Amino acid sequence: MARFIFITGGVVSSLGKGLMAASLAALLQARGYKVRIRKFDPYLNVDPGTMSPYQHGEVYVTDDGAETDLDLGHYERFTGVSARQSDNITSGRVYQNIIQRERRGDYLGATVQVIPHVTDEIKKFAVSEVDDLDFVLCEIGGTVGDIESLPFMEAIRQLRNELEPQQTLSVHVTLVPFIAAAGELKTKPTQHSVRELAALGIKPDVLLCRTEHPLPDGERRKIAQFCNVRPEAVIPALDARSIYSVPTQYHEEGLDEQVLRSFGITDAPEPDLSRWQDVEDRYFNPEGEVTIGVVGKYVGLQDAYKSLNEALVHGGLANRVKVNIEWIDAEIFEGEESDIAAQLEPLHGILVPGGFGERGSEGKIASVRFAKDRKVPFFGICLGMQMACIEAAQSAGISEASSTEFGETKEPVVGIITEWMSEEGLQQREAGGDLGGTMRLGAYDAMLDGNSHISAIYGGAKTISERHRHRYEVNAAYREPIEENGLLFSGWSPDGLLPETVERPDHPWFVGVQFHPELKSKPFDPHPLFAGFVAAALEQSRLV
């Protein structure tokens, strides 16, 4: 029987509910339990696929092709459990499903209402596909009191009544601010937040109190008294030195023990935290450091590249080095007065990540050319690989080489595709169709040249599976001039039509991939491409 943990947040946003959910799941997993984490997002977008990264951060993609909230990346990185399309739902998708049924006449003329139709849809999502699990953690986006989240709160209230006793638990994440002028921690915001939650019919069992200062026993007892919870169920959550310290820190504060106690579980095995202790040891005791420049479009908000940032950290863990990341706006390299050498010469590696649109494209191409000419380790991901191919075509004499994503061009080295093969068969789309859900999304196989550098990085593998998120592909018709310039196609889709990887054999480390390997990297299992890239950057650091 699966047990459900409903996680809500109060007072302010950005308290770290997603990280808390991931850490608690990791602790339960370390005790031998099977876990899954789900995210309820109250916004009306069907999914975050068409949202600007500046609005919402990165879009995380699952193996089965869902575009989801970035918190699912935390869930995967902390538990190693692959997320699925059924692990993220939005108000937009809930209402879309209901309206489609109403238009078909499925409700037999009934008035369609928030209760029961919307709440029933949410409950059905929460309890689906859980037969083989011990715990299902459900994080509710937003803050208690938001009008958008009310149907989700009502669905939780109903579920807590409908499921068996001791089958559900409420964890509320709240803020205990420190008022410097008074020199005091203030518990009143937490009290009001819990009161707001109780007004919706939900009594929290465990409180996780985010605070910048230690929570004295007196304040802990005060919170417990006013919020109707046990004092030991008031868990202080101080800022951690690293997100990878959070699981062990929360365990030391008793979070997992209190959760299990609230479920009536008293005989749980002690958690095996050895892999988290190893991660912390590697993170806090590096034996060197490297500097990687990320030349991108959305560098003003690091959450836009959240998985990429973490994958680079994981590459450092694999090599026991600290990775310093320089976020560089590609637009600064455009124009006659740009001094690209001054910005890129101090770097030990250059990475051009994925993105959409023309802005910054010339700066990315210039970065590719600099890495190629100066023999600096280079890693191109998705659009970064496409920019490497355009740069090679331009260097081969095709001066107008470009991408149809940037407008009409006589030399479409990169262009949109309208058909491709997947495990489900032929996939089709219209070039002018809706943006949402029209990309090549999810895990696809790639066939690697057995003699290639990238095959060696993957331990000699000839077939790999990686996640994609893009509309445009490198045009294989330009293979000859690109390879004549030294950039070799070393990986292809199984049907041999779509280039998946490129590399330069005459370069210390120059790799481009059409997929997003950062989505599969984990702190205890770094992705081999990032481990290899950081290793090459470490070698570069010894040369400069």
Where do you find CATH 3.40.50.300 in the chain? 3-278
- Which amino acid is present at 468? H
What's the pLDDT at 418?
60
CA distance 151 to 114: 7
Active site members: 382, 516, 518
62 contact partners, CB below 8 Å, separation of at least 6: 68, 72, 82, 83, 84, 85, 87, 442, 467
Helix, strand, or coil (residue 437): coil
The vertex-49 CA angle with 48 and 54, nearest 5°, equals: 65
What's the pLDDT at 409?
87
Helix, strand, or coil (residue 77): helix
CA distance 258 to 267: 13
Closest CA to 35 of 171, 134, 138, 169: 134
Closest CA to 34 of 100, 74, 81, 101: 81
- Which amino acid is present at 531? A
Q: What is the pLDDT of residues 59-102, one digit of tens each?
A: 999 999 999 989 999 999 999 999 999 999 999 999 999 999 99
CA distance 325 to 322: 10
CA distance 161 to 164: 8
260 token code pair: 């299990």
The vertex-404 CA angle with 413 and 49, nearest 5°, equals: 115
CA distance between the termini of the chain: 59
CA distance 318 to 316: 5
**What superfamily in CATH does domain 286-541 come from?**
Class I glutamine amidotransferase (GATase) domain (3.40.50.880)
Mean pLDDT by 10 residues, the chain (544 residues): 95 89 97 97 88 80 92 95 94 96 91 95 95 96 93 96 94 94 91 96 96 92 95 94 95 96 94 96 96 86 87 98 94 74 92 80 91 97 95 93 88 77 54 58 94 96 95 93 96 94 97 97 97 97 79
Rounded to two decimals, the pTM is: 0.92
* Alpha-helical regions (H) of 228-360: 246-252, 255-262, 274-284, 306-319, 340-344
What's the pLDDT at 304?
85
Where do you find CATH 3.40.50.880 in the chain? 286-541
Helix, strand, or coil (residue 35): strand
Q: Structurally, what CATH architecture does the domain formed by 3-278 represent?
A: 3-Layer(aba) Sandwich (3.40)
CA distance 160 to 4: 9
CA distance 279 to 277: 5
Is 417 exposed, middle or buried (CB count within 10 Å of its CB: 0-12, 13-18, 19+)?
middle
Concatenating the DSSP letter of every residue in 204-238 gives -SEEEEEESS---HHHHHHHHHHHTS-GGGEEEEE
- Which amino acid is present at 482? I
